[in-house]
């Protein structure tokens, strides 16, 4: 049998009623924990003593750092957000593995590695916190929670009402007052929060919608999976400068499709 970290079992043994995925968040929304502490915790937990979700998550953060994620703000945010609170209870024991997971209605939560990579791309060049950020595709709300620790305000838009509501329920216990969930078509952006310091899409389209470019602040970036001229989906980064737009095509990725309209 596949050997898994013991934390979900441990969580239910701590007397939490009901499925562990819906247990109350145990980490304060903003603990100010520095990544050094997160990594130190990861190292100390390898002994196997006290395997709780903090330790399992700290190991995930350590793995992200080994995989090349460098930005301490991103590592800290990944260490703070309890990913197991955003997935179905049956999948809780996979919550900290580097895998995408189904979140219902045919959609998926991205791998931690992909979330960290994209948030790192969004934060590059920013000193301290990013300003207002727009996320297209709230899904289960996990990435919005990560973004809430690196940006002053997060506007996150979802086109599927069922997921918009699920994200609202998932995020409620974390009391992240800088996260604003919107039900609507993200292809139109969200003009009320513009201009944005960054726009990040969790769904891949054929092109980056003009609305996103219009709603970006000078110096801000769009990070979006997009079909390239080679015909496959890749991460595209577009920087808005005072002279125009600079576009970079990075590695191939596999995201759910960006669709127009709401459902």
Catalytic residues, by residue number, are: 110
Report the site for ligand SAH in 155-184 (rule: CB under 6 A). Answer: 157-160, 163
* Cα gap 21→176, rounded to integer Å: 18
Interface with ligand SAH by CB under 6 A: which range of 28-36, 43-51, 74-82, 133-141? 133-141
Name which of 5 and 186 has its Cβ closer to ligand SAH.
Answer: 186
Question: What are the DSSP E strand ranges found in the chain?
Answer: 101-104, 107-109, 130-136, 151-158, 179-183, 196-201, 216-227, 233-241, 244-252
Binding of residue 137 to ligand SAH (CB under 6 A): yes
Residue bearing tokens 């600079």: 246
Report the site for ligand SAH in 181-200 (rule: CB under 6 A). Answer: 185-187
Q: Give φ, ψ of 181 to 5 degrees.
A: -95, 135
* Cα gap 63→169, rounded to integer Å: 29
Interface with ligand SAH by CB under 6 A: which range of 1-9, 107-115, 118-126, 245-253? 107-115
Among 35, 62, 87, 142, binds ligand SAH (CB under 6 A): 142
Among 53, 143, 148, 226, binds ligand SAH (CB under 6 A): 143
Q: In what order do the strands lie in the sheet with 130-136?
A: 179-183, 151-158, 130-136, 196-201, 216-227, 233-241, 244-252
Q: Which residues bind ligand SAH (CB under 6 A)?
A: 103, 107-110, 136-137, 139-140, 142-143, 157-160, 163, 185-187, 202-203, 256, 258-260
């Amino acid at each position: 049998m596949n050997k898994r970290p013991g934390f979900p079992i441990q969580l239910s043994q701590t007397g939490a009623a009901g499925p562990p995925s819906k247990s109350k968040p145990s980490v304060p929304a903003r603990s100010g924990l520095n990544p050094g502490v997160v990594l130190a915790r990861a190292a100390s937990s390898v002994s196997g003593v006290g395997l709780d979700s903090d330790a399992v998550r700290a190991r995930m953060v350590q793995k992200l750092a080994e995989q090349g994620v460098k930005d301490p703000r991103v590592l800290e945010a990944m260490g703070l957000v309890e990913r197991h609170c955003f997935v179905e209870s049956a999948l809780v024991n996979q919550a900290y593995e580097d895998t995408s997971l189904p979140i219902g209605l045919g959609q998926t939560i991205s791998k931690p590695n992909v979330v960290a990579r994209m948030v790192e791309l969004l934060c590059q060049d920013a000193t301290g916190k990013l300003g207002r950020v727009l996320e297209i595709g709230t899904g289960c709300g996990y990435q919005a929670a990560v973004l809430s620790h690196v940006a002053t305000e997060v506007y996150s838009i979802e086109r599927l009402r069922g997921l918009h509501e699920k994200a609202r329920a998932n995020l409620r216990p974390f009391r992240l007052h800088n996260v604003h969930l919107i039900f609507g078509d993200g292809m139109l952006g969200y003009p009320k929060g513009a201009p944005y310091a960054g726009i990040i899409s969790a769904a891949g389209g054929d092109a980056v919608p003009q609305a996103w470019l219009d709603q970006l602040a000078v110096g801000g970036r769009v990070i979006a999976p997009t079909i390239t001229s080679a015909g496959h989906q890749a991460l595209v980064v577009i920087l808005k400068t005072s002279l125009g737009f600079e576009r970079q095509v990075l590695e191939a990725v596999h995201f759910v499709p960006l669709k127009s309209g709401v459902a």
